[in-house]
Structure 1
C-alpha cells in the first residue's frame, strides 16, 4: 500500500512537471498584458498578430512552430535575441525563414530578458480580450445631431421674422389707404404743388447732390483700390485634396516632427510636398486606422482606411503580398501656399538661421498663443488643423512688419561677432532701446533681398 502511494505521488509530480513544461513550450508562463506592451514597443513595426506585414503573422506562432517544425520556445529565444547568429550557426529553419521573407533581416533584441520574451510569446498565444469600444458611429451621430437641431431652430426663427415683416407691410398699406380716405380738399391741393420729379429735386438741392456724388466717388475709388490690393491674398483658403491627410492626427496626435516629411525646409529654398514614398515609411505597416480616441465628426474608421488604400494605389503597393507591383498613379495635390514668381523666399534662412529669433518675437507679441515650432509663425498651429488652410495674409506688408519687429538673435556666436560694430553703434544711437537689432537694421527691408 505504501509503495503504491509513493508511486502515485511520483506520478503526480511527473505530470505536474510535464504540464509546466508544456505550458512553457506553448508560451503560457508569461504575462500577456506585459507582453502586449512589449510587443507594441518592439514588434509592431514589422509584425501584426492576424496578418503578414514585413514579417509573418505572429498569433499562435509558438503552437505553429511546435506542430510544424518541432521547435520549442528556446529556438524562439535564440531567434529574437540574435537571429543573425542563429543563421550563422547553420540552423536550417532560421535560414529558410530568412529566404522566405526576401532576405529581410530582422532586428536583434539582445536587450530583452528571457522573461520579456516569454511575456511576448504569451501575448501571441493568448492575447488579452479588448474591452468593448465606444460606438464611434453613435458618438458621431450625436455630434452631428446638435448642429441639425440648431439649424431647425434657426429656420423657425427666420420664418417667424419673415411672417412678422409681411404683417408690417400689410399694416402700412392699410394705413396708407386710410390716410388717403381722410384727406381734405385743401390737403389734396397741397399735394399737387409738391415736387414730383428727380430733376426738380436736384435743381432745388444741387449743392447737396454734388457733395453726395463726390463722397460716393471717393468711396468707390477706395473700394476699387482695396479690392485690387487684396488680389492674390487667400487667407483661409483650404482646398479639398485627392487624399485626405489630417495634420491634427499626424502632427498633433502622433507628434510627428514637421521636418520628418518636409525635410527640404531646413536645407533648401522650398519646402517641398513630400513624395508618397515618405508616406509609405509608416503606412507600409499601418494599413488601417486604429486610433478610435480621435475621429472627426462625420468620419468613421472605414473612411480613414479607404484613404490609406489610396496611398497604396498611388504607390503600387500590394499589402497582401507585401511588395510593389510597379503600377503607380501620380497624386495631383492642390497647392495652398504659393509665392508670386517675383518674390524670393528661402525656407532654410528662416527655419535655421532665424528659428529662435522668430519664435521669441512671435511669443512676445502673442503671450496667450505661444508657439514651440518656427513653422507655426507663418503657417499657424498646423497641428490642430484637420484640413490645412492658409493661416496668414502673406502680403508684403505682413512680411515687412515681421522684419521690423523681429530681433536678431545676438546670443548666436556668429551674429554676436559679425554685427559687433553695428551693435555698438545702435547702443549709442538708441540708448533707450539698448541698441536693439531688428531684421530691418541688417538689410531686411532692402528691395533686392526679396525681389529679383
Structure 2
C-alpha cells in the first residue's frame, strides 16, 4: 500500500513537472517589456494577427512546436542571426526563407536571451487592452437633474425671445410718436412750400457741375485701380489646397514621423523640378505598413479613414497584402497639381535646395525670428510639416521672388563663393562702404535673362 502511494505520488510529480515544462514555454518573459521590444524591432515586418512581409507572430511558439517540433532555443538562433542558421544547413531555416519569397530577415544580435523571451511571451500572451470607460460613469442624460436643466434652458430661450419682441415693439412705437411730433411742429406755410417745390436734376447738375465731374473722375480712378489690381492677381492662388484622390498628411509623415522631404522629393536636390513622388516611393514604407497605428489623428478623421487611404495605394499599385505580391493590375492616380510655375519662367530647385540652402535658411530666419525654419523647403512652401492638406503658402509672384533676391545674402563662408566673388565684394565695399553685403541681386539675381529666356 505504501509502495503504491509512493509511486502514485511520484507520478503526480512527474505530470506536474511535464506540465510546468510545457507551460514554461509560454511564461518565461515579461509580456509588457516584450510589447515594447516588439514595437521597436519587429512591427515593421510582422503583426500578431496577420501576415505582412513576414508571418503573423501570434502564438508563434506553439506553431513552431506543433509544425516542426522546434523550441525557443531554435527561435533565439533564428532571431539573432538567421543567415548564419541557414548557412549552417538548418532545413527549417531554409524552408522559411524559401516560403517567404527569399526576403532576408534582419539579424538582431543586440537582443539578449531575456529580451527574446519577453518578445515570445508577448506573442503568446499579449497584455489585455485597457478597459473601456465604465458606462455607469457616463453622464445620464435622462436623469431628473438633466431634464430639469433642459426645461430651464428652454424657458430662458422663451423669455429672451419675448423680451426681444417687446423691445422691437417699443422702438416701433417711439418712431411713430417722433413722426407725429415732427408733423405737429411744421407750420401750414412751410408744409405748402414743401409740397409745391420741384427740383430739376438738370438744374442741380448745372449748379454743381464741377463737383459732379470731380466725383466721376474719382470713381473712374477707383474703377481703373480695381481692374488693374484684379489683373495683377490673376494666377495668384495663395491658400489654394485642393482635395487629392488619396489623402496624404504631411503633418503625419514630415511632422510626426520626421521623414526628410528629400526622401520622397529626391529630384528637388538634383533637378529642376521636385516632381510628385511615384507610388513606388510610397510602397517603400507601406509595403510593410498596412494600417495606421500612429498617435496623431486629425480632427474629424479616425483610424479606419487612414487605413482606407492605405488600401487605395494598394489598389493603385496592384499590391496584394495577403500574398505580399504584386498582381500586375494597376490604376493611375490623377493628382491635383498645387504649385505650377508658368512656362515662361525658369526655376531650378537644385540651385535653391543645394547651392542656396544655407543662404536662404539664414536670410529667412533673420526676417522671421518668431517662425524660424530648419529645412530650406519651408522658405517657399511654408510650415509643410504642420499641414494635413498641402496648400500654397506664398504668392509666388515676380515681385515676391525679386524681394527675396534683394534681401538674401550670398553665403560667403563657402570657399568657392569667397574666392569667386572676391573682386565683386571688394568693389561693393569701395562703392557702398565696408558694411555692404553681397546679395543674390548683386550677382545677377535681377537680370531678366536669369528667369526669362
Shared topology, TM-score over 0.5? yes
Alignment equivalent of 1:273, drawn from 268, 276, 279: 276
- Please give the root-mean-square deviation of Cα atoms over the aligned residues, in Å: 3.2
Q: Aligned residue for 1:152?
A: none
**Structure 1 residue matching 2:369: 3-state secondary structure:** coil
Q: Aligned residue for 2:140?
A: none
Q: How does 1:36-435 map to 2 (within 5 A)?
A: 36-132=35-131, 179=182, 183-192=186-195, 194-291=197-294, 293-431=295-433, 433=435, 435=436
Question: Shift of residue 275 of structure 1?
Answer: 0.8
* 1:165/1:207 CA distance change after superposition, 3 Å: farther
Question: Shift of residue 9 of structure 1?
Answer: 10
The 8 Å contact of residues 195 and 201 in structure 1, kept in 2 or not, is answered as no
Question: Shift of residue 170 of structure 1?
Answer: 8.5
Q: Partners of 1:131 and 1:316 in 2: how far apart?
A: 37
Q: Partners of 2:85 and 2:181 in 1: how far apart?
A: 108
Question: Shift of residue 14 of structure 1?
Answer: 6.7
**Structure 2 residue matching 1:368: 3-state secondary structure:** helix
**Structure 2 residue matching 1:372: 3-state secondary structure:** coil
Q: Deviations over 1:238-261 (max 9, x none)?
A: 111111111111111111111111
Question: Shift of residue 429 of structure 1?
Answer: 2.2
How many residues of Structure 1 are paired with residues of Structure 2 in the alignment?
428
**Unmatched segments (≥5 aa) in structure 1:** 136-156
* 1:126/1:437 CA distance change after superposition, 3 Å: same
**Structure 2 residue matching 1:129: 3-state secondary structure:** coil
The 8 Å contact of residues 403 and 444 in structure 1, kept in 2 or not, is answered as yes
Q: Partners of 1:196 and 1:175 in 2: how far apart?
A: 27
* 1:4/1:418 CA distance change after superposition, 3 Å: farther
**Unmatched segments (≥5 aa) in structure 2:** 135-159
Question: Shift of residue 308 of structure 1?
Answer: 1.4
Q: Partners of 1:163 and 1:333 in 2: how far apart?
A: 58
* 1:182/1:400 CA distance change after superposition, 3 Å: same
Q: Deviations over 1:320-366 (max 9, x none)?
A: 22211111111111111111110111111111111111111111011
* 1:51/1:370 CA distance change after superposition, 3 Å: same
Question: Shift of residue 216 of structure 1?
Answer: 0.7
**Structure 2 residue matching 1:392: 3-state secondary structure:** coil
Q: Deviations over 1:226-282 (max 9, x none)?
A: 111010000011111111111111111111111111111111110111111111112
**Structure 2 residue matching 1:377: 3-state secondary structure:** helix
Q: Deviations over 1:127-172 (max 9, x none)?
A: 122324789xxxxxxxxxxxxxxxxxxxxx9xx9999899878965
Question: Shift of residue 42 of structure 1?
Answer: 1.6
Question: Shift of residue 441 of structure 1?
Answer: 0.5
Q: Partners of 1:423 and 1:104 in 2: how far apart?
A: 58
* 1:167/1:369 CA distance change after superposition, 3 Å: farther
- TM-score normalised by the chain length of structure 2: 0.86
